Amino acid sequence: MRFVLLILAIISSCAGLSPPQPDLTCTISPLGAGHDDTDQVLAAIEKCGHGGHTILRDGVYNITRKMTWDLVDAKVDLHGFLSFVPDIEFWLNPNNTYRVVFIQSQASWFVITGSDFEVDAHNTGGIQGNGQPWWDFFTTVPREDGDGRPISLTLFRAVRGVIRNFVIEAQPFWCNCIAESQSVVYDGMKCNASNTNATFFGQNIVPNTDGIDTYRSDDIALLNWDITCGDDCLAIKGNSTNILARNITCRGGNGVAFGSLAQYVNLTDMVENVFMDTMTMTRINASIQPNMGNGVYFKSWDGTVNGAPPTGGGGASGFAKNVTLRNVVLDRVNRPTTIEQTNGGHSGDLPSIFKFSDIHYENWSGTALTNLGEFVALECSPAVNCTTIAFEGFNVSVPAGEAPEIVCQNVVGLSGISCT
């Protein structure tokens, strides 16, 4: 597990970042209800974001436009919440957000970039996404990738950074995304997308509220996460390498996703060296979030190009390999795990040329609801097969009187379970 040791070394080095200059400190407080804090926040970061220390005292900071923090050899103590005004039409205008996340043309309203920095929210601050008006709005408006709904917190081209003890409430869309970054540690992240509108109790009106999507990033540690969402708790997308996830709690949603992958026909997706340890997927009150889809699932587009990204695509190559999923506890998930290689596909399409291999399931326990589908479905592409899929200590139970159905297609080198 060389890559795990490498990431742990990165965590240690990030924890020892050089302290900011003691004479370069910027301290601000919220201006109060009805006032716009965007200018004063940006001014503090501009003054102290390189080599200094910025302190945002407790309270609510009203943010009315897109914001970048360029941090170099700097620390930010964020004791309060950055509250992004829920002006939906304003944020859906592409001119009012950043498009730094290439995949699926996603929008961002808050971007952190730079090197050798720490942002600590002390479990008392972070981002207020004011998602409820967004979720209500999109119950009658179609959703699609790239439509302009903003990611709450985006790290872009960040190197040797730490995000610590951060809370994101009511993210309208993805809670986090890290793109084109290296050697970053998230230690303590809470995301909470919980519908409070009784009109929609029992429905999932918070899709696409992923905890994080990783993309084109290397040496990333996700430690101590607590995610309530209606979609992927963690999503490992293309060219994510040397990823460590540890002590992760997923409440509702679809579970942990690898994908989707192979969407862009002219690009190769590579996912390699992913170690996930100590994860819990738990079903919550169905009136708040009825979904608890999977433990961990893998998905790629098939081999035919159907339309163009951000909403279509397919036909690309690549691989996901050397993935270890250890110490996973499931609470009434629909299905513990699956590999599915026909995302966005149609009958008669070419099989996927994206390959999954060296996937290791170790010490899984808990419960699954088999009446909602197969217990395990490894439905791999006949063009490339899945190779070396190993189960060790896989002790997930099903309701009394039901027999677990394990589907295996085009798997070479399967161990630890038997296909039905």
- What b/e readout covers 175-200, taking b as 16+ CB neighbours within 10 angstroms? bbbbbbbbbbbbbbbbbbbbbeeeeb
Selecting among 37, 231, 232, 302, the annotated active-site residue is 231
Alpha-carbon span 313 to 264, nearest angstrom: 6
231 tagged catalytic: yes
Strands 386-397 and 353-368: parallel
Secondary structure E strands in 262-316:
269-282, 294-301
SS3 (DSSP) at 249 = strand
CA angle 205, 208, 211 (to 5 degrees): 115
Farthest CA pair distance, the chain: 69
Query: Cα(320)–Cα(243) distance, rounded to whole angstroms?
Result: 12
Counting runs of H as helices and runs of E as strands, what totals does the chain give?
A: 4, 27
DSSP 324-385: EEEEEEEEEESEEEEEEEEET--TTPPPPEEEEEEEEEEEEEEEE-GGGS-SEEEE--TTT-
Positions marked catalytic? 231
